[in-house]
Chains A and B, each alone.
Chain A
Amino acid sequence: MSALTDLTIAGARDALRAGDTSAVALTEAHLEAAEAAGALNAFVHHTPDLAREQARAADARLERGDAPAMCGIPIGVKDLFCTKGVPSQAASRILDGFRPEYESTVTDKLFTSGAVMLGKLNMDEFAMGSSNETSTYGAAVNPWRAGNSDAALTPGGSSGGSAAAVAARLCLGATGTDTGGSIRQPAALTGTVGIKPTYGRVSRWGIVAFASSLDQAGPMTRNVRDAAIMLGAMAGHDPKDSTSAELPVPDFEAMLTGDIRGQVIGIPREYRIDGMPDEVEAHWQDGIAMLRDAGAEIRDISLPHTKYALPAYYVIAPAEASSNLARYDGVRFGRRAALSQGDGVTEMYEKTRAEGFGAEVQRRIMVGTYVLSAGFYDAYYNRARKVRALIKRDFEEAFASGIDAILTPATPSPAFELGAMAEADPIEMYLQDVFTVTVNLAGLPGIALPTGQDRRGLPLGLQLIGRPWEEGALLNAAQCLEDRAGFVAQPEKWW
């Protein structure tokens, strides 16, 4: 058998059930890989004792023949998920030392199905960023390098540690969250697969909130089948999240036939943006050809409000964040600033939040505060919510006209160098999400998967967008594209 760290989730599951390996052996191999990958800064809290305990329990279940698909599978968990007794900081200084007394619904479900947690993964602070550079732990590093250059590249963000860890074979899968593209953009930049489910498919309970009407958790894996397996273990109704949908979770893996003959794939003309590199456009055309060859009907469509998605997002997301992040006040959890003689409770709030939040988080909280303030609420916040309704309507009309799924580029560029945006206007970084943010605003499922490489060998990804609640069909279209693209490249180990 090849190295245990080269297995997929499906392969590991089958090997475990056949008795070819054990959860303990699989876990040890991954703990070793994670421990040795400090240069990637993907894992920010290691939990080897918990992992070994969970692995032993998984082996006992396997022996009893009571082993769900994720049983014994070593995973990493984004630092945004609250994990009982384990540091959960949302990559923020303000949550220094925070150890939740409870378990998020997603990690609880994964653990109930037997998954093994290796540790917590790096991310942008409070999931605000597209390069992992806003993390209090320092940036995670992409295992991929461009050609012969040894420059450190971003793994994307905000789920950058998750993407880097999966791409570098430190874990078989990882949890991510996606508010504007935070699963799909890092997946595209690291040659991995990431799906943001329909809003309401996965419980948000116990996940540190950024923008509650947009946040969804999803799996990040090395192929589509693994994404289907892991999503099945994460999804489902949860009474503790009032927006969680009371719908049965289908067997996503069983829906992967790779056959999409007769399906109609929409190609939205508004996703051809100014300044998009030729390689990205050519890569999109390749994807279109692959789906056509597979028997799909390709149809040009229009989603006319696309260009207003990012501006609407940068009103709605900061507005919700300013409200959600009001709870970090130095009273109930996390870190309180040192106070001077005579400081009252207001100084405590102001100093704690100034020291505890990084620059980007402060900026977004204040933008949100401004757009919600008296006199501007209608002009900014209500207008943005109306535009959001129009963006959603664009998709509804496309689906009503017979479109089954929509194919777009995943990102406007491949991975860029860490530090490249240091002097840039914040808007330039926001443009990373130009193809993904529409999907969050409309609450739809979207998946990014690797389908090629640029001339320097960096992975390029495409995004498929599906109908609400039809993740199974979406995963199947992604399976078809994966089969056709035959992406097998791996980053060369340098760490």
Chain B
Amino acid sequence: MPKIVGIDLGTTNSLVAIVENGAPSVLPGPDGSKLVPSVIYFDGAGQVLVGDRAKEQMVENPKNTIFSIKRFMGKDIQDVREDLPLLPFEVSSESEHVIRLKIFGRDYTPPELSAFILRELKRNAEAALGDEIKNAVITVPAYFNDAQRQATKDAGRIAGLDVLRIVNEPTAASLAYGLDKRKQGTIAVYDFGGGTFDISILKLREGIFEVLSTSGDTHLGGDDIDEILIRLVLGDMGAAPSSPERIPAIRKAVNKAKEDLSAADSSEIIIESLQYRRTITRAEFNKLIERIIERTLKPCRQALQDAGLNPNELDEVVMVGGSTRIPLVRQKVQELFGRVPHTELNPDEVVALGAAVQADILAGGQRDMLLLDVTPLSLGIETMGGVMSKIIPRNSTIPASATEMFTTFIDGQTNVKIHVLQGERELVKDCRSLAQFDLKDIPAMPAGMPRIEVKFLIDADGILSVSAQEQRTGKYQSIEVKPTYGLTDEQVEQMILESFEYAEADIEARLVIEARNEAETVLNATMKGIADEQYANLSDEEKAEITAASKNLRELMKSTNHQTIREGIERLSNATMHLAELIMNTAIAKALKDKRVREIDNE
């Protein structure tokens, strides 16, 4: 089994960790530091620096030193309009569905920029382990929507990583927390980071980590506190409109003062280049940031309500994320939950450690722990009058699915449009548009006659997929997906090709080898399936198709085009779907039977 690393791709810092000999540890970079600042510097001559060396360039080269890119993941220009005045970056005019930053004349999307950070972590891990790393688990804020999760997966692909799982940050933290303590009971994880806030409530029982509810704000974090302080300094400097070039120096100074104030009663904001200096006391600071901290409390109350719990029913409140070092944060959390929060874990490292534990579970190293996570937002479809009809409620355990029936309104209609949304509000315009689907090739029938069953499936990463079947003909419908925010598969593949790291490597050769390996796995599994007793229950057509698809794939494996091989894999996978289903169902029936026998034995 190849090694799988756990990655915390943070707004401010990123880390990579792995489980070795049963214990997770963060893998340091060549300079020995565990935290890689999530900063990317472009020198304009083809060199790109990531981490501490990039951070050094923030004040001198603000326009081409990118930071907090996580806040742009899965967003378009409208979403971040408010932040832009304080950010020194140049935004490309082509930022409609995906925001693009212009750096030395070239456009970069957030997944491409995040990929630079992931590649740095990959290199660090490879150097530390002396092994090639291809597989990773990456964490995201629990409250990330579908587009933000997909963007994170895309970033992994562009960086040459197979992202085996997207895990929610507070849940990952709970894994690291529960690992040491073998704790049982109900805990709340309050995760306040550089750019995002999450609250998750979990039940820990016999190795099962079951999320009961989650809530948050993906645009609320330490960055917002910095911005308040930046505006304070700008205000001090008088009416003179300050150029964006000044901001990085101010940002650096206020950030230092903010950190100082976690330990000291007062600090100084010093910006020598602008001949600026002021003292700020903790009391002043608290007054300024109180509004921000208050904003974290509403999601906490919501999560408690959704879990059906009172604060006193919690056994522990665990603090995660750098912003939980702020004394006022701790005080407010303590007031809300009526107990002293647990602050012993290193708030910077715990998420990466938990990601490594989840990676270990996927690698098969851990079978007694299991994470049952939930979807943070309700999934719905647009119905008449611009109303959103919920089909999977928020806080449903994932994977989760829902089936809806659709029909036609006009005789002979062969197309039906479906608009999928995420959110809690009633009107479509107040929810986040996820994608538009086009059901095509519906058999021509009188209006209302076709019965098209559409299945919505949210996988364990919290990402949606859709399949459709016309009930009268049993025919699977083709679906064309137009994501509202985000990149298409083709765009991501193009980015992999363009990514300068691979410009010289023969990417096609690598893709072909990967496809052939997968074809081999699928063929082996098919052979195993044919040997199973359930094979006899397939129809003659199904059996013939499995034989034909196997033969076809063996033939296609000789191809030097990975797409061709993938098509063969897909055909065989579809052909064996029913067989796999039968085998799985028998296994379940058997499990239930065994269980009943056991229970009778126990009596």
**Interaction A to B:** no
